[in-house]
C-alpha cells in the first residue's frame, strides 16, 4: 500500500520512513547502475562514491516531508571530458535542488493566486517550509522553451493584470507546455512568431479575430480549431443576443400558462366609473384644427431653450451621445465576451450596453436632439 502511494520509481525503493522533530523523513536508496555525464553525455557505469541528499517533498498530512536519498557519484570515463566525477540525476528532483519537482509544481500552483509572502505563509500551515525569496526565485527561473518544429499549438489570450495588460500564450497542444508568451494580443506579434514556426499544421485558438487573421496570413494551410470552451462561450453569447431580440421584456404567466397578450392593467378608478354617469356629460373630444384643417399638437410647456435647465439638458444629451459613440467604437474592436467589463468601465448596465450596441446610426444621431412629447 505504502509502495503504491509513495512511488519514486523502481530504481528508487523506500527503505525506511521515520518521523522526527515534526518531520517525516523518507529514506530512499538508489539502485541505479548507470548515468549520463551532464557535460559530455556519455553513459557511465562506474561508481565513484555514495552520498546523501536531503530533498523536501510535498507534505504528508500537513507535516513537512523530506526525502533522504542515498545516491551515487559516478566517474566520467571520457578522457576528453573535463568532468571527472558527477552526481546521479534523480527522476523526481533537478540536480542541486532541495525540492522535488512535485513540490515546485505545488508551490507554483498556489503562487499563481497570491503574493510570494502569502504563499509562504499558507504553505507553512500546510507543512511546507519555503521562504518568500525562494518562491520569487522559482518564479523568476521559469524558462519558456520554444520548439521551432512544433506542429500543433494552442493560442489563447491571458490577462497579466485583468483589464490592464494582456499577453498571448502559445502552448504545445500535445503536452501543454508553454512555448511562448507574447506581449499584448495583437496579430502582429503572433505573425512574427508564426513565421518562425512553419511546421505548424493545427492551431486551437480562442475566438479572437486578430489571431484567426494572423494564422490565415502566415500559415494559410493550417487547420484552425476553436476549442470547446470558447465555442460554448461564443454560442451562449450569440444565443443571448437572439433571445434578447426575440423575447419580450416581460412575460405574463397566469395559472402556470404563458399568456399571449400582455395584461392591460385597468386603473381601478376608471373601471369604477359608472358609464351612465359618464354619458350625462356632454363634451367635445375632437382635436382642435388650425385654419388649414390640420390637427394642432399641443405642447403645453413653455420652452425657453436658453434657460439654464435646457442648456444643461442639451449638454447631458450631447455627453450621452458621445459616450454611446465611444462605446460603440470600443465594442467594434473587442470580443463580445468582454461586454461585462466594458459596461463596468462605462458605468452602465449590460442591458443598456446591449441597447446602445443595437441602435441604428440614425437613432444615435437623434440622441442629441430635444425630444418633443406629442400630446394627442
Ligand atoms: Zn563527461
75 C-alpha vs ligand 1 centroid, how far in Å? 8
Residue 200 is assigned to a structural domain of this protein: yes
Give residue 82 CA to ligand 1 midpoint distance, Å: 7
Of 14-18, 145-149, 205-209, 350-354, the range with the lowest mean pLDDT is 205-209
Gap from CA of 46 to ligand 1 centroid (Å): 12
Last residue of a domain, one of 98, 133, 165: 98
Nearest residue to 153 via CA among 138, 175, 131: 175
Per residue in 108-161, pLDDT (tens digit) is 889 888 889 999 999 999 999 999 999 999 888 888 889 889 999 988 888 777
**Total of domains in the chain:** 3
Give pTM, 2 decimals. Answer: 0.49
pLDDT score, position 265: 61
pLDDT digit string, tens, across residues 89-105: 999 998 889 999 999 99
Cα 83 to averaged position of ligand 1 atoms, centre (Å): 5
Among residues 151, 156, 171, the alpha carbon closest in space to that of 221 is found at 151
Residue 190 lies in a domain: yes
Instruction: Answer with the one of 98, 124, 154 that is the final residue of a domain.
Output: 98
Asked if 183 and 93 sit in the same domain, the reply is no
CATH number at residue 191: 3.30.420
User: What is the spatial distance between Cα 54 and Cα 100, in angstroms, rounded to a whole number?
Assistant: 10
Flag the least confident range among 151-155, 270-274, 326-330. Answer: 270-274
177 lies in some domain: yes
Q: Report yes or no on 277 lying in a domain.
A: no
Predicted local distance difference test score (pLDDT) of residue 124 = 94
CA of residue 81 to ligand 1 center, whole Å? 5
Residue 85, pLDDT score: 94
Q: Determine the distance separating the centroid of ligand 1 and the alpha carbon of 43, expressed in angstroms.
A: 8
Shared domain check, 239 and 157? yes
What is the whole-number distance in angstroms between the Cα of residue 45 and the centre of ligand 1? 12
Do residues 244 and 157 share a domain? yes
Q: Are residues 154 and 222 in the same domain?
A: yes
Per the CB < 8 A criterion, the answer to whether 22 and 63 are in contact is yes
Helices 116-126 and 101-111, packing angle to 10 deg: 120
Helix-, strand-, coil-residue percentages of the chain, each rounded to 5: 35, 25, 40
- Does the pLDDT of residue 75 top 80, yes or no? yes
- List beta partners, residue 49: 73
- Classify residue 160: in a domain, yes or no: yes
Residue 290 domain-assigned (yes or no): no
Assess contact for 225 and 203: CB atoms under 8 A: yes
- For 212, the domain range is 143-251
Classify residue 134: in a domain, yes or no: no
Residue 111 lies in a domain: no
Of 41, 73, 98, the position where a domain reaches its end is 98
Amino acid at each position: 500500500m505504502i509502495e503504491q502511494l509513495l512511488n519514486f520509481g523502481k530504481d528508487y525503493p523506500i527503505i525506511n520512513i521515520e518521523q522526527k522533530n515534526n518531520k517525516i523523513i523518507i529514506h530512499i536508496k538508489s539502485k541505479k547502475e548507470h548515468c549520463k555525464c551532464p557535460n559530455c553525455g556519455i553513459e557511465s557505469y562506474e561508481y565513484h562514491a555514495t552520498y546523501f541528499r536531503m530533498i523536501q517533498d510535498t507534505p504528508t498530512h500537513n507535516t513537512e516531508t523530506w526525502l533522504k536519498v542515498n545516491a551515487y557519484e559516478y566517474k566520467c570515463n571520457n578522457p576528453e571530458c573535463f568532468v571527472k566525477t558527477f552526481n546521479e540525476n534523480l527522476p523526481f528532483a533537478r540536480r542541486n535542488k532541495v525540492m522535488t519537482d512535485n513540490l515546485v509544481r505545488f508551490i507554483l500552483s498556489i503562487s499563481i493566486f497570491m503574493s510570494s509572502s502569502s504563499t509562504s505563509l499558507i504553505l507553512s500551515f500546510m507543512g511546507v517550509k519555503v521562504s518568500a525569496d525562494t518562491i520569487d526565485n522559482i518564479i523568476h527561473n521559469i524558462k519558456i522553451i520554444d520548439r521551432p518544429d512544433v506542429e500543433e499549438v494552442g493560442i489563447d489570450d491571458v490577462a497579466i493584470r485583468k483589464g490592464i495588460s494582456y499577453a498571448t500564450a502559445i502552448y504545445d497542444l500535445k503536452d501543454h507546455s508553454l512555448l511562448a508568451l507574447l506581449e499584448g494580443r495583437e496579430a502582429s506579434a503572433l505573425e512574427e512568431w508564426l513565421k518562425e514556426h512553419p511546421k505548424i499544421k493545427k492551431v486551437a485558438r480562442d475566438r479572437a479575430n486578430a489571431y484567426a487573421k494572423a494564422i490565415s496570413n502566415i500559415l494559410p494551410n493550417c487547420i484552425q480549431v476553436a476549442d470547446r470552451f470558447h465555442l460554448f462561450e461564443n454560442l451562449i453569447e450569440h444565443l443571448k443576443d437572439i433571445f434578447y431580440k426575440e423575447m419580450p421584456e416581460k412575460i405574463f404567466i397566469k395559472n402556470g400558462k404563458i399568456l399571449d397578450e400582455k395584461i392591460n392593467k385597468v386603473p381601478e378608478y376608471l373601471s369604477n366609473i359608472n358609464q351612465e354617469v359618464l354619458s350625462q356629460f356632454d363634451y367635445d373630444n375632437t382635436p382642435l384644427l388650425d385654419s388649414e384643417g390640420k390637427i394642432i399638437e399641443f405642447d403645453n410647456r413653455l420652452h425657453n431653450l436658453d434657460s439654464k435647465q435646457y442648456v444643461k439638458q442639451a449638454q447631458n444629451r450631447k455627453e450621452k451621445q458621445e459616450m454611446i459613440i465611444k462605446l460603440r467604437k470600443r465594442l467594434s474592436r473587442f470580443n463580445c465576451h468582454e461586454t461585462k467589463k466594458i459596461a463596468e468601465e462605462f458605468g452602465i448596465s449590460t442591458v443598456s450596453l446591449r441597447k446602445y450596441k443595437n441602435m441604428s446610426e440614425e437613432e444615435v444621431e437623434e440622441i442629441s436632439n430635444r425630444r418633443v412629447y406629442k400630446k394627442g
